Structure 1
Amino acid sequence: MFCNMCCEKCLCVPSGTYGHREECPCYDNWKTKEGKSKCP
């Protein structure tokens, strides 16, 4: 669910299966109320 939300909002997905969040600042900066990353 969150993968699709992040993809639609940011129009970008970091490459690979883990890490590389710097490729998509929106993907890395979108946080939950608790301060954790909303995007997996």
Structure 2
Amino acid sequence: MPTLVYSIIHCCMLNCGYHKWKIFREIKSKRQYVNKTKQK
């Protein structure tokens, strides 16, 4: 039983980390796009 709970928590942590990284990359790419449009 504890191993099942641990695997679920581990999976949730991986998903949270992946989503945060994805959002961070999206924000970063948006900032670069804004900077490019400002320079023109």
Shorter-chain TM range is under 0.3
Determine which structure has more spread, i.e. the larger CA radius of gyration. Answer: 2
**What TM-score results when the alignment is normalised by the length of structure 2?**
0.25
| TM-score computed with the length of structure 1 as normaliser | 0.25
